[in-house]
Structure 1
Amino acid sequence: MIDSSAFQGKKAIYYTLGCKLNFSETSTFGKMLADMGVVTAEKGERADICLINTCSVTEVADHKCRQAIHKMAREHPGAFIIVTGCYAQLETEKVSKIAGVDLVLGSNEKADLIQYLNDAFIHRAEGTTLHAFHAVKTKDIKRFQPSCSKGNRTRYFLKVQDGCNYFCTYCTIPYARGLSRSPSIASLVAQAEEAAAEGGKEIVLTGVNIGDFGTTTHERFIDLVKALDGVEGIKRFRISSLEPDLIDDELIEYCAGSRAFMPHFHIPLQSGSDMVLKLMHRRYDSALFARKIALIKRLMPDAFIGVDVMVGSRGERPEFFEACYRFLDGLPVTQLHVFPYSERPGTSALTIPYVVDEKEKKLRSKRLLAMSEEKTHAFYEQYIGTERPVLFEKAHRGKAMHGFTDNYIRVELPPSLARDAYDNEIMSIRLGGFNHDGTALKAELT
């Protein structure tokens, strides 16, 4: 039994680390608490509830999580501090011992956030404190927590899948989020329709391994895409990330002619060396990856293609990195998201003998980031002087307004031209030259 009166008037603050999926889930936590009467604390206000949604993809991420918890405890003394997310699942008891933490919820328990908080408030009312942690083993993470929200953003983020069955040698995500699972197509269409009714124009599909959608429901990702494409009111859909082996030709062909799925793909490569891909236990080779990219660009020449690349992984000898560099250099991709390899406890990558030192990782990262900058600049440059539809996002008063074209070119509208009425509107914009720092093209109203 939940006593909603215990929540009324309380103020909460939220801190999210990691991926778009985490941001989507934090937004849902915020909505759950708002429905109970909790308001978001304004800047400078002391919160009654602090929620930290954590990431554990690297040791740096773990460190940032601990820093965030300490900062919350310091800035909001006496607040009830809840920690959830991947770091909370992998290091539940360790996190619970951090000073100030009251409650740690693993991947299976976070859906019951309101019930756990309600119990905690009862304890406090009785003069006792609750200092607890809850997490089940990886094999017992079965629940799927729905999430379709935008928080303080313009775009909605719809969670279509969670967990992963791949167990790549370097990755802890399957241990943190459990095995692949997803809801029904019908339930996701209903959430998209609700977002449309609220005035949403764009939805980003999020998940851990989105292409694996339907493992638990015996449905197909392509059928989800087709169903969502028919949701009236939503003008744009984007797919946040798709494994190369799960991007089938039918999906690419459908997106090329769809009403609302944008010419925008994000595809994790991790390495362009077949030897390294084998060491990582990835389920494709460079030839398959190149063929998928070629098909996308043939059917959608304007497509923006982002690629994840990991450098300095165990076993990445210099000649393997050079093979990766040459492979990427020859691909018609738009942007590289470069991540230095981080040792993660419990992963099988630790058994691979060849180790790349930190200095070399930085050098390799620097080379790939320079390549990425060149590719992105060249992609943007070819659209200067053209007109594209742009969805603008709300800006702070007196600041430039930003938005994205259908093919994900970032566009900047100067403060003198920005209007509140442009927020969440899709407008035909003439693309000018680069802005002052080269991160966007200047918008020229037509």
Structure 2
Amino acid sequence: MENRKKVAFYTLGCKLNFSETSTIARNLQDEGFDRVDFEEVADMYVINTCSVTENADKQFKQVVRKAMKLNDKAFVAAVGCYAQLKPEELANVDGVDLVLGATEKFKLADYINDLSKNDMGEVHSCEIAEADFYVGSYSIGDRTRAFLKVQDGCDYKCTYCTIPLARGISRSDELQNVLKNAYEISKQNIKEIVLTGVNIGDYGKGEFGNKKHEHTFLELVQALDEVEGIERLRISSIEPNLLKNETIEFVSKSRTFVPHFHIPLQSGSNDILKLMKRRYLREVYTERVNKIREVMPHACIGVDVIVGFPGETDEHFLETYHFLNDLDISYLHVFTYSERDNTEAAEMPGVVPSNVRAKRSKMLRGLSVKKRRAFYESQLGTSRTVLFEGENKEGYIHGFTENYVKVKTPWNPELVNTLHQINLTKIDEDGSVRMEFASVLV
């Protein structure tokens, strides 16, 4: 029997990256590789990079060093967003043999020969305008949930963001292909699918820059709701201007879509939203939250917010703080603004000192803790459905309700990847919620 090579993967960044890593891994398995954990000795290490996280280059170098420590003769390939934006920079990192940009990453097998080390990282990176075709992806590494990619790229021109430079124009998977992937996932005994993309509310734009919407996001959601074998569907993150009332109403009556929305706000000040070139004002955001609360009072609503954007004065920040404090939301993801090459914001006046950015970030993180606690308290005494995860954490098994309340109960391996009707009883010291079983569902 031939000696199959071993490949390990490390993914930085978002759910979309995880879905694409899984697809690249399946492609390599079809080419004769065996996938192993990143902590193991492998013949090849593939690092899927991210351009959004701060210190992207530092993180990347740490992962390369880790791979080289495991096997200094291993072939190291860098793919993904940072590989598209700064290919030469990554190629110069000691130990890196291959750098593939946005269009090349799914053809990794075509670029590797005998896995012998290169003296210098070899770069294959396209002009981003060439990234006009779509590659469907989904991840099934986790037994309980899968990330299903439905859309890629973005046509928005937000002044702080490099994603259009790293991923190209907005384009979508064909509806039939999304449904086929969802069906394949359902056969793996996975209970939950999370829809992912760069700008999923823009779903429907075809390949090759065709801006005609073949299907709308609402039609996608309606079709996925019919897929047999999937217990839960979750929308990962959707722009407020693209989250239509019809979609909110459909989710409220849906068989499988859960009452959990993650909606980027970025700032609660209209002045700053305009500087960011966002496509809505805060009044639109308030309307979306109110609509969700009207039809799903128990829904979980998460918010992305950026602090320290150029020109953000103390008054602007307090506007954001009070706006979020008064809004009926459930938690925040707080991002401290950091300059990105080739973005408009990097050239803007009114740079906020880093110590002020840190202070504002801390204030909003504190507000998030308060909001999550209030949301969890509002759910005590209610009956919900929980899907249990697969990890034993200090003698407990954790899971999430349909509306994203984190619950815990003493570890029992038989509970992994099962759904149960439960009653939420009290909030524990670690912030998760204790529960009592009502009945087994699946």
The interval holding the TM-score normalised by the smaller chain is over 0.9
| Match in the other structure for 1:201 | 191
Correspondence list, 1:362-373, <5 A: 362-373=358-369
2:107 equivalent among 112, 119, 131: 112
- Asked if residue 430 in structure 1 is aligned to residue 423 in structure 2, the reply is yes
Correspondence list, 1:200-239, <5 A: 200-216=190-206, 218-239=214-235
Aligned counterparts of 2:72 and 2:39: Cα–Cα separation in 1? 13
Amino acid of the residue matched to residue 171 of structure 2?
R
- Asked if residue 191 in structure 1 is aligned to residue 184 in structure 2, the reply is no
- 3-state DSSP class of the match of 1:322? helix
| Match in the other structure for 2:55 | 60
* CA drift at 1:411: 1.1
Correspondence list, 1:73-152, <5 A: 73-117=68-112, 120-121=113-114, 124=116, 131-152=121-142
Worse overlay, 331-340 or 16-25? 16-25
Per-residue deviation, residues 389-438 of structure 1 (Å, max 9, x unmatched): 101111249742111101011111222xx12x322211112223223311
Aligned counterparts of 1:144 and 1:414: Cα–Cα separation in 2? 44
Is the 1:107–1:141 contact (alpha carbons within 8 Å) kept by the matching residues of 2? Answer: yes
Aligned counterparts of 1:354 and 1:46: Cα–Cα separation in 2? 49
Aligned counterparts of 2:128 and 2:136: Cα–Cα separation in 1? 19
Amino acid of the residue matched to residue 192 of structure 2?
E
Aligned counterparts of 1:441 and 1:400: Cα–Cα separation in 2? 12
Aligned counterparts of 2:393 and 2:257: Cα–Cα separation in 1? 31
Aligned counterparts of 2:118 and 2:401: Cα–Cα separation in 1? 54
Amino acid of the residue matched to residue 29 of structure 1?
I
Per-residue deviation, residues 275-312 of structure 1 (Å, max 9, x unmatched): 00000000000001101110011111011000000000
Indicate how the Cα distance of structure 1 residues 362 and 178 shifts in structure 2: closer, same or farther if over 3 A, else same: same
Amino acid of the residue matched to residue 337 of structure 1?
H
Aligned counterparts of 1:395 and 1:352: Cα–Cα separation in 2? 46
| Match in the other structure for 1:354 | 350
1:40 equivalent among 14, 35, 41: 35
| Match in the other structure for 1:413 | 409
- Asked if residue 69 in structure 1 is aligned to residue 64 in structure 2, the reply is yes
* CA drift at 1:153: 4.3
Correspondence list, 1:2-13, <5 A: 8-13=3-8
- Asked if residue 343 in structure 1 is aligned to residue 336 in structure 2, the reply is no
* CA drift at 1:333: 0.4
Aligned counterparts of 1:44 and 1:303: Cα–Cα separation in 2? 38
* CA drift at 1:253: 1.1
* CA drift at 1:140: 1.1
TM-score, scaled to structure 2: 0.94
| Match in the other structure for 2:433 | 441
Per-residue deviation, residues 289-344 of structure 1 (Å, max 9, x unmatched): 10111001111101100000000001111111111111111100000100000000
Indicate how the Cα distance of structure 1 residues 43 and 245 shifts in structure 2: closer, same or farther if over 3 A, else same: closer
* CA drift at 1:42: 5.1
Is the 2:268–2:320 contact (alpha carbons within 8 Å) kept by the matching residues of 1? Answer: yes
1:28 equivalent among 10, 23, 26: 23
Aligned counterparts of 2:343 and 2:48: Cα–Cα separation in 1? 23
Q: RMSD across aligned C-alpha pairs, in angstroms?
A: 1.9
Which segments of structure 1 move beyond 4 Å, counting only runs of 4 or more? 127-131
* CA drift at 1:65: 1.8
- 3-state DSSP class of the match of 1:356? coil
Is the 2:268–2:321 contact (alpha carbons within 8 Å) kept by the matching residues of 1? Answer: yes
Indicate how the Cα distance of structure 1 residues 43 and 15 shifts in structure 2: closer, same or farther if over 3 A, else same: closer
Is the 1:162–1:177 contact (alpha carbons within 8 Å) kept by the matching residues of 2? Answer: yes
* CA drift at 1:32: 2.2
Amino acid of the residue matched to residue 106 of structure 1?
G
| Match in the other structure for 1:182 | 172
TM-score, scaled to structure 1: 0.93
Is the 1:59–1:344 contact (alpha carbons within 8 Å) kept by the matching residues of 2? Answer: no
Worse overlay, 130-139 or 425-434? 130-139
Aligned counterparts of 2:393 and 2:53: Cα–Cα separation in 1? 36
Correspondence list, 1:156-305, <5 A: 156-216=146-206, 218-305=214-301
Aligned counterparts of 2:214 and 2:38: Cα–Cα separation in 1? 46
Is the 2:298–2:379 contact (alpha carbons within 8 Å) kept by the matching residues of 1? Answer: no
2:14 equivalent among 10, 16, 19: 19
- 3-state DSSP class of the match of 1:336? strand
| Match in the other structure for 2:210 | none
Amino acid of the residue matched to residue 239 of structure 1?
I
* CA drift at 1:129: 7.5
* CA drift at 1:9: 2.2
Correspondence list, 1:314-333, <5 A: 314-333=310-329
Is the 2:48–2:78 contact (alpha carbons within 8 Å) kept by the matching residues of 1? Answer: yes
Give structure 1 stretches of 5+ with no counterpart: none
Amino acid of the residue matched to residue 79 of structure 1?
A
Aligned counterparts of 1:43 and 1:311: Cα–Cα separation in 2? 34
Indicate how the Cα distance of structure 1 residues 444 and 299 shifts in structure 2: closer, same or farther if over 3 A, else same: same
Is the 1:59–1:343 contact (alpha carbons within 8 Å) kept by the matching residues of 2? Answer: no
Is the 1:106–1:136 contact (alpha carbons within 8 Å) kept by the matching residues of 2? Answer: yes
* CA drift at 1:131: 4.2
Is the 2:238–2:262 contact (alpha carbons within 8 Å) kept by the matching residues of 1? Answer: yes
2:385 equivalent among 389, 392, 401: 389
Aligned counterparts of 1:372 and 1:131: Cα–Cα separation in 2? 43
